[in-house]
Amino acid sequence: MQRLNLLALQRRRVLAWGGMGVLSLVGATGGFNVQAAGTPARRVVSIGGALTEIIYALGAESQLVGVDTTSLYPQAATMLPSVGYARALSAEGILALSPQLVVATEDAGPPAVLRQLSSAGLELVVLAANHRFEGLLDRVQRLGILLNQAPAAQQLTARLQKDWAQRPATPLRSGPAPRVLFVLSHSPAQIMVGGQGSSAQAMLEYVGARNAAQGFDGFKPLTPEAVIAAQPDVVLFTDQGLQAIGGVDGALRLPGIAQTPAGQRRRIVSQEAMFLLGFGPRLPAAVAALDAQLRKALAA
């Protein structure tokens, strides 16, 4: 009976928020309802490193009671209780923290766990990934509302817009845009390349580079034929991925890499994963850093 009363209360709150014009979102991963609260959330679980970064940037970290394993920045976030990897969550681990609000990215899952959380009466908000600067600003504003930090969200937005306006605007080099292949490597046995629609492609576009992997969406396994056909000028890894395969020498041993212009010139570069792909508050700095890194590699 208590469970039914709780779910009924949840439905009444959704209707009330809808009437007030407050956020009402539908998660792309499971067909469940997700909702935004108009009052401060005192116990928050953040699933997604970029969302955690935004919460800290808003000065709302005191509301956090748990984060996922991608929440590595700032370092203080790593001291919070972990609810596991964003794509392999456990409802029990999250519920054990007694949160009042769970915020997540579209990468969070599995969908069945998210449905469990929603059915348990938690306020669950899934924010769109939208790998663009405008998407970052939207997430800042939405979290500002959810965490009762709207003034801080406005200030952060203004700072981000200022930083974004100062990013490098000149091409990496004259002539055709350099071809960059992004390789995601959790281990030597799990090598993927980033295609169209990926956060890696969005970053490459922002620095005036061309994604060397074309003809597919998202990520797919690396094959020697595809790598050689891509003919990248530079191969880009995450720091974690490059370390996992043994550094630059390990990268050159991957299928096909040594037969590309990038491999022949040892143009192998990397950045920390969430800094490069997170699309959090450090995005302007990440774009500037990638631009500088690719310029240096191409000059070699």
232-255 pLDDT, tens digit per residue, is 999 999 999 999 999 999 999 998
Query: Is 51 within 8 Å of 143 (Cβ atoms)?
Result: yes
| Lookup: tokens for 39 | 């009052």
Q: Compute the average pLDDT of residues 275-293.
A: 96
Q: What is the pLDDT of residues 61-103, one digit of tens each?
A: 999 999 999 999 999 999 999 999 999 999 999 999 999 999 9
Q: How high is the pLDDT of residue 115?
A: 94
Instruction: Please list the residue range(s) of the chain that carry CATH number 3.40.50.1980.
Output: 2-165, 179-299
179-299, CATH topology level: Rossmann fold (3.40.50)
Calculate the alpha carbon distances from 265 to 54, 171, 207 in Å: 38, 21, 21
At the fourth CATH level, the homologous superfamily of domain 2-165 is Nitrogenase molybdenum iron protein domain (3.40.50.1980)
Q: Is 221 strand, coil or helix?
A: strand
pLDDT band at 211 (very low <50, low <70, confident <90, very high): very high
Q: Using the Cα atoms of residue 135, residue 70, residue 192 and residue 294 in order, give the sign of their dihedral.
A: positive
pLDDT at 31 over 80: no
Amino acid 35: pLDDT: 42
Angle at 108 between CA 157 and CA 57, to 5 degrees: 25
What mean pLDDT value characterizes the chain?
A: 87
**Tens digit of each residue's pLDDT (9 = 90 or more) over 132-151:** 999 999 999 999 999 999 99
